[in-house]
Amino acid sequence: MTAQASTSVSKSRSSSIAAPRLRAKGDAIIHVENLVKVYDPDIRAVDGISFEVRRGEIFGFLGPNGAGKTTTIKVITTLIKKTSGTAIVDGIDVDRNPAGIRKIIGYAAQEVGIDDELTGRENLRLQCALYHLPKEEREERIAELLKAIDLEDAADRRAGTYSGGMRKRLDLAMALIPHPKVLFLDEPTTGLDPQNRAAVWDYIRGLNEQGMTIFLTTQYMEEADRLADRLCIIDHGHIMAEGTPASLKGSIGADVVTLSFKTNGVANPNATAKAALARIHGIREIQEVDGGIAVYAQDAPALVPQLVLALNDAHLDIAELTLTHPTLDDVFMKYTGRKMRTEEVTPQRRTPWGARRRRPM
């Protein structure tokens, strides 16, 4: 079965003998080491990454579109095969016992996997059957989930009439049917308006407070900052930085002044600006970034007048100057040399009947 055909994982039983359970390091429930995924000789979507996810935490995987987030999550959830490296979930190797992993995880993909022609309740019933949940347990589990996602009143309406936020909540509920130990959420709020995005955040926090480990991929800095206990920043298949949001922002240790310039005949305004500012006391670092430079300083507000004077003396015209305290945007810019690329997506497209129905793997 292909990854396209499924947006969740199944509790189907494996007919093969279970592989021996491997021990993840420390309190890690997910252990990834030197993971590589090559689609062809020219495309290394994931290039030797290593990280661990601790039991009971919200782990953020932050990066722009095309960074390798979805490829990584698909390898760990057994939707695609890795090229090399190691991936272990709760002691189970993804290659040796993929069916064992599918029994203990839930997965909600970027694009919702609900059937618009079915009601919300019918979607959940179908998913219960695909997970092989005992028939006598299904209606009770469905009632629990409908209450948890606040869809009891809309449960018997056709899912095609749901708003984007309702569809996303139903999609999350479908991934939760088997009581997973780890819930994988691939960009769960893409395409949602701020109100629905905040509601999904609250729901994710609630699941985590009940002890569930959550692996969250996102391209939104605010989402990673608000939700993640720890996070990795990934770009072009490489992990650029790892830590808590606070520690990553603290690694900058300074305010950030970002400047861009009008050319006005200056051949290389960024290089000219760096040379002009190099001798100002109090500047910790000057870095070229997309469209200008970033100046890191402990007390940047006090230095701004000096910066402006020095740049004027160098015959540079400032097009834009911004002053910020360290954010995850600054962290990304520091470790990659450019700003984060994010793309807002319009609310989820409605697909034809049955096109995204979830099936056992």
Which tens digits make up the pLDDT trace of 156-166? 999 999 998 89
The pLDDT of residue 342? 53
Is residue 107 within a helix (H) or strand (E), and if so which, with residue range?
A: strand 105-108
Judged against a pLDDT cut of 80, whether residue 10 lies above it is answered with no
Query: What's the pLDDT tens digit per position in 33-70?
Result: 999 999 987 889 999 999 999 999 999 999 888 899 99
Judged against a pLDDT cut of 90, whether residue 89 lies above it is answered with yes
Judged against a pLDDT cut of 70, whether residue 136 lies above it is answered with yes
Considering the segment(s) 3-246 as one domain, its CATH architecture is 3-Layer(aba) Sandwich (3.40)
The pLDDT of residue 59? 98
**Whole-model pTM?**
0.75
Q: Domain 254-325 class?
A: alpha beta
The pLDDT of residue 64? 86
Q: What mean pLDDT is predicted for residues 78-93? A: 96
Judged against a pLDDT cut of 90, whether residue 343 lies above it is answered with no
To the nearest 10 degrees (0 to 180), the angle between helices 300-313 and 269-277 is 120
Sheet with 255-262: strands ordered across: 283-289, 292-297, 255-262, 317-324
Least confident of 68-77, 173-182, 292-301, 339-348: 339-348
Q: What mean pLDDT is predicted for residues 131-140? A: 92
Least confident of 170-174, 236-240, 327-331: 327-331
The pLDDT of residue 75? 96
Of the chain, the percentage scoring pLDDT greater than 70 comes to 87
Provide the 3-class DSSP secondary structure of residue 60: strand
Q: Between 216 and 66, where is the model more confident? A: 216
Judged against a pLDDT cut of 60, whether residue 14 lies above it is answered with no
Of the chain, the percentage scoring pLDDT greater than 90 comes to 61
Judged against a pLDDT cut of 70, whether residue 15 lies above it is answered with no
What's CA 254's distance to the chain center, in Å?
Answer: 26
Q: Mean pLDDT over all residues of the chain?
A: 85
Q: Between 333 and 346, where is the model more confident? A: 333
Looking up tokens 């009439």 gives 161
Query: What's the pLDDT tens digit per position in 99-121?
Result: 999 999 999 988 888 999 999 99
The pLDDT of residue 97? 96
Q: What mean pLDDT is predicted for residues 109-138? A: 92
To the nearest 10 degrees (0 to 180), the angle between helices 328-336 and 245-252 is 60
**Domain locations in the chain as residue ranges:** 3-246, 254-325
Judged against a pLDDT cut of 50, whether residue 361 lies above it is answered with no
CB 351 within 8 A of CB 110: no
The pLDDT of residue 123? 96
Per the DSSP assignment, residues forming a β-bridge with 317 are 262
Q: Between 354 and 263, where is the model more confident? A: 263
The pLDDT of residue 341? 59
CB 9 within 8 A of CB 361: yes
Query: What's the pLDDT tens digit per position in 16-27?
Result: 333 334 444 448
In 150-195, the DSSP E strands lie at 182-186
Nearest-CA neighbor of 299 among 351, 257, 268, 271? 257
Burial of 297: CB neighbours in 10 Å, binned 0-12, 13-18, 19+: buried
